[in-house]
Structure 1
Amino acid sequence: MKSPFRHIAVVGAGAVGSYYGALLAAAGHRVTLIGREAHVRAIAAGGLRLHRRGQDEAIAVAASTDLDVVRDADLVLLAVKSGDTEALARQLAPRLQADALLLSLQNGVENAAALARHLRQAIVPAVVYVATAMPEPGRVVHSGGGDLVIGARDAASAQDAVMQARLASVVDLFASAGVSVRLSSDVMGELWTKLMVNCAWNAVSALAQAPYGRIAEVASMRELQREIVREVVAVAQADGRCLVFDEAMTAMQAIAVRMPMQRSSTAQDLARGKPTEIDHLNGFVARRGAELGVATPVNQALHALVKLAEAEAEAQAAAR
């Protein structure tokens, strides 16, 4: 099908960004992945190797380390870590086309607002539930999920007919690549639900280096996760979001069924000695809870433990 977008740039092409970029490229769309040098070299040498549904395939897709690639992109998929959002927005500001559409495929609930502080372009938050890993440069392994939820980030955008048409174009684009995209009237509320899920699984998976299915088998962990969810729901409600505890628990528990062998992105980062997004997950809940007068002792503890593990990994790397 004819693409509603002429050029799609994926900024921060790690496991998640590369996965969606590869699917769009395989569907015939013009895509450029912007990532680290080793990843770009590997893709140039043999395409992006994608493992899914028990099969390996090499997908031809352009890749670059140069952020200037975004200059002629009319759709930009942002997949950088939340901690890099502010710096990236400042770098993008002089490079983006005025009418470019930005789709944030990021964890956390602060990214759209952070981007909007620096950019005039339309920004679309996306909720991503996908199990991917990048065991080596140039290779992505998909083990579950992949659907997206998108929507207008504020009431003004929700009433804008032009924005609604652009959102429909995003739905059509991903549909052509076999990716289901659902339009939500409350995407920020759904991002809070995703934040709750991440808070319940990511730190625990990281500290134990365990997959979701294994964690779900341990009764004491199920009780701990119940308390994590209870705290996140309380903070969300104090922040004006409509999260319901029973519904949140159902959404959280479903992850272990859908992705039993997946280790969290936080676990993958910690195992590689890379900075995690914990400040924007359990750390955010603890910080926002303190601002709103909501106690979050479990989320505070998990945040502190992951920060300790990060510091120890950094110290060991420096000692080598």
Structure 2
Amino acid sequence: MVVMKYGIIGAGAMGYRYGVMLQENAGVEVDFIDTWEPNVTKVREQGGVSVARDHENRRIVPINIYYPEEYAGHPDVWIVFKKQMQLADEIKRDSEAGIFHEDQYVFSAMNGMGHFEKIAEYFPASHIVCGTAMIATRLDGPANVDFMGAENSEQMHMARYNNEKPDEKVQGIFDDFTAAKLGPVIADEWKGMCMSKVVFNAVTNTLCTMFEMQMGQFIEYDGVRAMSEQLFNEAFDACERAGIHLIETRQQETDSVITVSKAYKYHYPSMYQDFSKGRPTEVDYINGYIAKIGREHDYVCRTHEFVVHEVHMAEMMRKYHQPQANVADPSKTEVEA
């Protein structure tokens, strides 16, 4: 059995989720690397990160957190959770700080697409593990996180960037994720696995953001299934032309919009959380990425291209009015990282 140490790059909602669950449930050693000063300062002031699950049983979980330049540890595996727009600068800073080593592996389950190409500038393909996560987590402020969903409800997929079967180290990561109760499933091929999550987010994240609504409000509209099918059909058509085979069918993706939205009734998707806080959204890495694949293979995803413009227009409108607050249930504002 391989005993490994983990380093989390990006102590945000999902970084905390993975790191704390690995530390507490799998009993492995975890270090956190972050560059957001209020976050690092708060952790050090309160002696750890404040963690709740579904707004209950809040407690301080002691953790080790460092700026890249002060870190002298040597994890076996890095786990990367940064926003797409921040990743290139973050990973460059980490590399210049000298914290990457030839023997290390790296795992990431970020939203959107494009991050593995950036990671591959610093790690060989055989050391990169791609992931997706259907895990909702809320970051209320520096060092203050809320895990959404009942225990053992976490679901994720993972596959090697070179699409080979797990070696000893990848198997060790899978075993640790299983012990951490993150619900991992091994997939045979990374691109179809990741694109299955991207096309899902291209419906729920994007539409909920444009109309500033929770997923439960979203599926109250009778036309949601038809809207979902239109976006999914374009995405699947583009992927098929590119030779990308998703791990779910068109019907399964459409059905999942309804079932997941019901399960997370009060959930504002991650894109809306960025939007509501005045940050750039990741729409270019989600709907925009689907449209890019289409254009590269002589297929125009007209709806996705239009939706990208709509989200950017909504971002522009924030200078005229503030995004709305949670109007359905002020006590529950579930947020995916």
Same fold (TM over 0.5): yes
SS at match of 1:103: strand
SS at match of 1:151: strand
User: How far is 1:84 from its partner?
Assistant: 2.7
User: How far is 1:15 from its partner?
Assistant: 0.7
Match status 1:301 vs 2:300:
no
User: How far is 1:70 from its partner?
Assistant: 7.2
Aligned residue identity for 1:100:
Q
What residue is the counterpart of 1:23 in the other structure?
Answer: 21
SS at match of 2:280: coil
Query: 1-side partners of 2:75 and 2:298: how far apart?
Result: 43
Q: 1:94-243 maps to which residues of 2 (within 5 A)? A: 94=96, 95=98, 96-120=100-124, 122-144=127-149, 145-155=153-163, 158-159=164-165, 163-243=166-246
Query: 2-side partners of 1:220 and 1:257: how far apart?
Result: 16
Match status 1:52 vs 2:56:
no
Aligned residue identity for 2:159:
G
Could you give the per-residue CA deviations for residues 94-139 of structure 1, whole angstroms, max 9, x where no partner exists? 5201111100121123222232134337111011111111111111
User: How far is 1:221 from its partner?
Assistant: 3.1
Q: 1:70-109 maps to which residues of 2 (within 5 A)? A: 72-94=74-96, 95=98, 96-109=100-113
What residue is the counterpart of 2:329 in the other structure?
Answer: none
Aligned residue identity for 2:265:
P
Taking structure 1 as reference, are residues 32 and 316 closer, same or farther at Cα in structure 2, changes over 3 Å only? farther
SS at match of 2:156: strand
User: How far is 1:67 from its partner?
Assistant: 5.2
The partner residue of 2:269 within 264, 267, 272 is: 264
Could you give the per-residue CA deviations for residues 6-25 of structure 1, whole angstroms, max 9, x where no partner exists? 3x211112111111112222
Unpaired runs of at least 5, structure 2: 323-337
Query: 2-side partners of 1:275 and 1:314: how far apart?
Result: 13
Query: 2-side partners of 1:70 and 1:177: how far apart?
Result: 25
Query: 2-side partners of 1:282 and 1:70: how far apart?
Result: 39
User: How far is 1:80 from its partner?
Assistant: 0.7
Match status 1:42 vs 2:47:
no
User: How far is 1:71 from its partner?
Assistant: 5.3
Taking structure 1 as reference, are residues 314 and 23 closer, same or farther at Cα in structure 2, changes over 3 Å only? farther
Taking structure 1 as reference, are residues 68 and 306 closer, same or farther at Cα in structure 2, changes over 3 Å only? farther
Unpaired runs of at least 5, structure 1: none
- Give the conservation status (yes or no) of the 8 Å contact 2:2–2:169: no
Query: 1-side partners of 2:124 and 2:171: how far apart?
Result: 21
- Give the conservation status (yes or no) of the 8 Å contact 1:83–1:280: no
User: How far is 1:65 from its partner?
Assistant: 3.0
Query: 2-side partners of 1:13 and 1:314: how far apart?
Result: 29
TM-score by length of 2: 0.84
User: How far is 1:79 from its partner?
Assistant: 0.2
Aligned residue identity for 2:178:
A
User: How far is 1:216 from its partner?
Assistant: 1.0
The aligned length equals 310
Q: Larger deviation: 223-232 or 87-96? A: 87-96
Query: 1-side partners of 2:230 and 2:70: how far apart?
Result: 45
- Give the conservation status (yes or no) of the 8 Å contact 1:71–1:97: no
Query: 1-side partners of 2:89 and 2:281: how far apart?
Result: 17
User: How far is 1:204 from its partner?
Assistant: 1.2
User: How far is 1:211 from its partner?
Assistant: 1.3
- Give the conservation status (yes or no) of the 8 Å contact 1:9–1:70: no
Query: 1-side partners of 2:243 and 2:85: how far apart?
Result: 24
